[in-house]
Chains A and B, each alone.
Chain A
């Protein structure tokens, strides 16, 4: 079974400052990794995903994430945040074996302060 730990439930950051949202996963098999963003009362929007290849993945809205297999991490970063980045961010994993659903972390609330 897979599990995801998002170490920070809330991250406040000033506008134009950099941010890192942490994600660690646990799995006995190879996985794909995802980051989703959720704005209030909306569904999930895919920010980026790691399937294979380069461990640095670039996504939408200026976000990027780096897959670190030895540390089983997939931290999300943005060099300069905007007010509009205020939202809930979810890290998720899926096993490569079988038709199994995404497993989500508990989410990190990013609050950008003007």
Chain B
């Protein structure tokens, strides 16, 4: 089956620093990747949709200058949390959609970000 990896799985950083999270589709090409944020005991909130080679589309209320998304290739998307603050602490999950399949989404294992 399709596998999506995320790295790192956990990261602790100091307030004011930036953190990059990688999302890779390991055995398929992902035209579209999605980034979700999950607060404790809450559902997944879609942050943005990225298509390979073009700018990400951010959901309302998500700061695009704070959450930088790059989808440089068909197998890699990155989320950079810039100037992180404690309120950015959360569980971030990426999801990838295979080229030519317009509904199936495969999820990564998630990244736990803690900002101190």
Q: List residues of A whose CB falls within 8 A of some B CB.
A: 32, 36, 41-45, 51, 90, 94, 96, 98-99, 101-102, 104-107, 109
Contact = CB atoms under 8 A, between A and B. Distances in A.
30 contacts: A32-B103, A41-B91, A41-B110, A42-B110, A43-B93, A43-B107, A43-B108, A43-B109, A44-B44, A44-B93, A44-B107, A45-B107, A51-B103, A90-B44, A94-B103, A94-B105, A96-B103, A99-B32, A99-B97, A99-B102, A101-B34, A101-B46, A101-B49, A101-B105, A102-B95, A102-B105, A104-B43, A105-B43, A106-B42, A107-B43
B112 interface: yes
**Count class of interface residues, chain B:** 20 to 34
Contacts of A99: 31-32, 97, 102
Given A41-B91, A41-B110, A107-B42, 15 more contacts: A41-B112, A43-B110, A44-B44, A51-B103, A90-B43, A90-B44, A94-B105, A99-B32, A101-B46, A101-B49, A101-B105, A102-B34, A102-B105, A104-B43, A106-B43
Nearest to B104: A49
Given A43-B108, A99-B97, A104 B44 contact: yes
Contacts of A32: 103
Contacts, number: 44
Interface-central residue, A41, A90, A101, by most chain B CB under 10 Å: A101
Contacts of A107: 42-43
Contacts of A104: 43-44
